[in-house]
Amino acid sequence: MIPELGHFSLILTLFVALAQGCLALAGAARGNAVWISFARPAARAQFLLIIVSFATLGWSFIVKDFSVAYVAQNSNSQLPLLYRIAAVWGGHEGSLLLWLLMQTGWAYAVSVFSKQLPDVMVARVLGVLGLVTAGFLLFVLLTSNPFERLVPAAIEGMDLNPLLQDIGLIFHPPLLYMGYVGFSVAFAFAIAALLAGQLDSTWARWSRPWATAAWLFLTLGIALGSWWAYYELGWGGWWFWDPVENSSFIPWLVGTALIHSLAVTEKRASFKNWTVLLAISTFSLSLLGAFLVRSGVLTSVHAFATDPRRGVFILMLFAVVVGSSLFLFALRAPKVGMGGRFELISRESLLLMNNVLLAVAAGAVILGTLYPLFIDALGLGKLSVGPPYFNAVFIPLMVPALLLMAVGPVANWKSAKISALIKHLHVPAVVALVVGVGAPFMLGRWSALAALGLALATWIATAVVKGIVDRMRATRTGLRAQPLSWLGMHLAHLGIAVFVAGVTLVMGYETEQDVRMTPGSTVSTGGGYELKFLGVNKAQGPNYVAEVGDIELSRDGRILRLLHPEKRSYISSEMPMTEAAIDANGLRHVYVALGEPLADDAWSVRVYYKPFVDWIWIGCILMALGGLLAISDRRYRLKRRERKAALVAAGATS
C-alpha cells in the first residue's frame, strides 16, 4: 500500500493547491481576512504532503519494490543503495516529483520567512504559487505518475542509466531545480504586484532576495552539471552547447538581468515594467527548459522523456503561464509611471545596456537551440547548430557586457561624469592592457583571443579590488563594515573575472592527443609531464565489470602518481562507460581516458593537458558566494515601521 499512499498524497495536494490559489487570490481581491489567512497553512500543508509522496517513492527504491513501474525502469537489485536513493529523481516521473518538492518547498519558505510582509501581498504570492503547483500536479497525475503498478511485478529492474550512476546525480538535479523553481517566487511577486497595481520599489525589495537565491542555486547547478559532464563523458570538455545545457543557461542569463534590474527598481524606482517583464520571462524560460528536456523533441544524454503527450501538456502550461502573465502585464503596464529620470551617462543607463546585452545573448542562444527543431518540424531536413554558431554570436555580445561590468559599480546614479569614471578606472585599464598584451607571450603563444580574454578578466578583477579599497578609504572602515549586498556584488563580479580567465586559458592553451599505447610506452603532454602506460587490469564493481588502466604520471624524471582511467561495462545493460582519471593541482589538469582495445595489448588513450580549467568552476563558486552575501544583507528585512507603511499602501491599492 506504500505506493498508493504516495499517489493519494499527490491527489490531496492538488486539491489543497487549487484551494490555496483560488481562495488566496479571491481573498486578496475582496479583502476577506479569513481567505487570506488560509494561504500560509495551505502552503505548509502542500510541502508536507509532497514530502510524504517523495519519501514513499524513495522507500520503494530502497526496498527494491519492482512492482512499481518507475522503480523497475530505473533501478536494479545490484544497484548500490546510494544510487537507489538518487534514482528517485533519475528518470522523468521522479524528477517531476523532485520539481514539486522544490516548488512546494519554496512556497513553504515564503510562508515562513515573509512574516514581516503584508498578509494581503503574501496571499497573492502564495496564491500564484499554488496555481503553478496545481499545474505541475496535473501534469504528474495525468501523464507522469511515478506510482503506477506493474502487474505482474517485474522480477528484476532494468537498472539506472549508467551515465547517471555518479555522485553528480545526488547534487546536480536538486541544485538545478532549486534555481529553476526558485524563479517562480520572483514571478509570483511580479504577478502579485501587477494584481495590486503596486509596481514600486517596495515589491522589488521584497522580491530581490528570492530572485538572488534562485540565481545562486541555478549558478551552482549549472556549474556542477558542467563538471559532471567534464569528467564523466570522457570528452574533456566543460561546455558543449548541448540543447539541454542551453535550456538551463538561457534562464540564467535572463535571471542575471533580472537581479540587476531589481536593484535599479528598488533603489531608483526605475525600470518597473522592464523588471516585471524580466521576472515573467525568467520563469517562463524555466518552463521552456522543462519542455525541451521532457517533450521528446531533443535527443541528448541529459534528456528525460520521449513521450510527445508530456511535451504537449508542458507546452500548454507554458502557454497559459506566459499568455495570462503578458495579458495582465498589458493591462497594468500603461498605468505605471516611468520612474526616476536619468542621463545617458549614469549607472541606470549602464545597467540597462547590460540588461539588453544579456537579453539579446539569451535570444541568440534560444534561436540556435530552437531553430533546428523548427526546421525539422516543418520537414525541411535536419540541421545541426553547434559551438561555431554559439561562439561566433555569444562572444561578441559578452565582450561589451564584461567591459560595462567594471564601469557600472563606480558610476553615479542619475548622472555620471566621464572624467570621474576615467579617474576611477584608468588604473584597471592600464593593468588590463599590460596583462592582455604581455601574458600570452609568457604563456608561449600569443593570440588575439587570449589577449582579449585575459585583458577583460584583469579589467574586471582590478576594478573590483580598486573599488573595495577606495570605499574603505572613503568611509575609513574595514571590510566587515561594508554592506553585505555591496560585497556580494563585487565577489560575484570577481567570480566572473576568474571564470573568464579560466575559459580563456583552457581554450587557448590546452592540448589534446589520441595515441596508441602499449605496456611500457610513454607520451609527453603539456607542462613537461610524461605518461607511461603500464597496462590494464580487470576489476569487479557492484554492478559492472571494468578494465582499469595503470598510467604513471611523472615530471622531470620524478614519479608523481598513478592514474587509473576505467572502461566499464554494466551488467544489466551491457552499456560501456568511460571513467576518466584526472590529476589536478589548481593550476592545471592532466586528464586521461581509455579508448578502445587494439591489437597486441595496445589501447587507444586520450590525453589532455588543461591549464587553469579549475578556475572555471572556482569562478562559479565565487559568483554563488556573492549571491549568498547579497541575500544576507539586513536591508531586506523590513522593520516594524516599514511593515506598517506597507500595510497601509497594500490596503489602499487592494
Mean residue pLDDT of the chain comes to: 89
- Determine if residue 92 is left, alpha or beta; phi over 0 gives left, psi from -120 to 50 gives alpha, anything else beta: alpha
- Nearest 5°: phi and psi at 519? -50, 125
**Domains of the chain with CATH codes:** 1-165 (1.20.120), 168-411 (no CATH), 511-613 (no CATH)
pTM: 0.92
Quote the pLDDT of residue 294: 66
Residue bearing the bigger pLDDT, 345 or 10? 10
pLDDT digits (tens, 9 = 90+) for 13-62: 999 999 999 999 999 999 899 999 999 999 999 999 999 999 999 999 99
* 397 has a pLDDT exceeding 50: yes
| Residue 178 in grid coordinates | 532549486
Beta-sheet strand order (sheet of 588-597): 511-517, 603-611, 588-597, 581-584
pLDDT digits (tens, 9 = 90+) for 127-139: 999 999 999 999 9
Query: What is the DSSP code (8-state) at residue 480?
Result: G
Pick the most confident of 192-196, 503-507, 525-529: 503-507
pLDDT digits (tens, 9 = 90+) for 624-647: 999 999 998 876 654 444 545 544
Q: Where does the pLDDT of residue 296 fall: very low under 50, low under 70, confident under 90, or very high at 90 and above?
A: low
Contacts of 520 (CB under 8 A, 6+ apart): 532, 533, 534
288 touches 247 (CB < 8 A): yes
* 304 has a pLDDT exceeding 50: no
* 338 has a pLDDT exceeding 70: no
Q: Which of 14, 15, 33 is nearest to 24 (CA)?
A: 33
Pick the most confident of 294-298, 329-333, 428-432: 428-432
535 touches 651 (CB < 8 A): no
How far is residue 268's CA from residue 367's CA, in Å, rounded to a whole number?
A: 33
Q: Which of 354, 621, 623, 638 is nearest to 488 (CA)?
A: 623
Q: Which of 181, 44, 176, 177 is nearest to 113 (CA)?
A: 44
Residue 37 belongs to what H/E stretch? helix 33-37
C-alpha pair distances (Å), 379 with each of 87, 247, 382, 383, 565: 37, 24, 8, 11, 43
Among 273-287, 357-371, 382-396, 458-472, whose mean pLDDT is lowest?
382-396
How far is residue 18's CA from residue 12's CA, in Å, rounded to a whole number?
A: 10
Quote the pLDDT of residue 339: 65
How far is residue 547's CA from residue 535's CA, in Å, rounded to a whole number?
A: 10
Q: Which of 630, 613, 633 is nearest to 215 (CA)?
A: 630
Quote the pLDDT of residue 497: 97
Helix, coil or strand: residue 519: coil
How far is residue 328's CA from residue 331's CA, in Å, rounded to a whole number?
A: 5
| Residue 632 in grid coordinates | 544576507
How far is residue 627's CA from residue 178's CA, in Å, rounded to a whole number?
A: 14
How far is residue 352's CA from residue 345's CA, in Å, rounded to a whole number?
A: 11
Q: What number is the average pLDDT over the span 493-516?
A: 95
Neighbour-count burial of 2, counting CB atoms closer than 10 A to its CB (0-12 exposed, 13-18 middle, 19+ buried): middle
Q: What number is the average pLDDT over the span 322-334?
A: 88
Q: What number is the average pLDDT over the span 255-262?
A: 95
590 touches 615 (CB < 8 A): no
487 touches 437 (CB < 8 A): no
Q: What is the DSSP string of 158-211?
A: ----GGG-STHHHHHHHHHHHHHHHHHHHHHHHHHHHHHT--SHHHHHHHHHHH
Round the CA-based radius of gyration of the chain to a whole number and report it.
27
How far is residue 552's CA from residue 563's CA, in Å, rounded to a whole number?
A: 6
How far is residue 123's CA from residue 129's CA, in Å, rounded to a whole number?
A: 10
Helix, coil or strand: residue 346: coil
Strands 529-540 and 544-555: antiparallel
How far is residue 579's CA from residue 559's CA, in Å, rounded to a whole number?
A: 22
Identity of the amino acid at 20? Q
Pick the most confident of 298-307, 565-574, 605-614, 643-652: 605-614
Strand segments (E) across 269-323? none
Q: What is the largest CA-CA distance in the chain?
A: 85
How far is residue 141's CA from residue 144's CA, in Å, rounded to a whole number?
A: 6
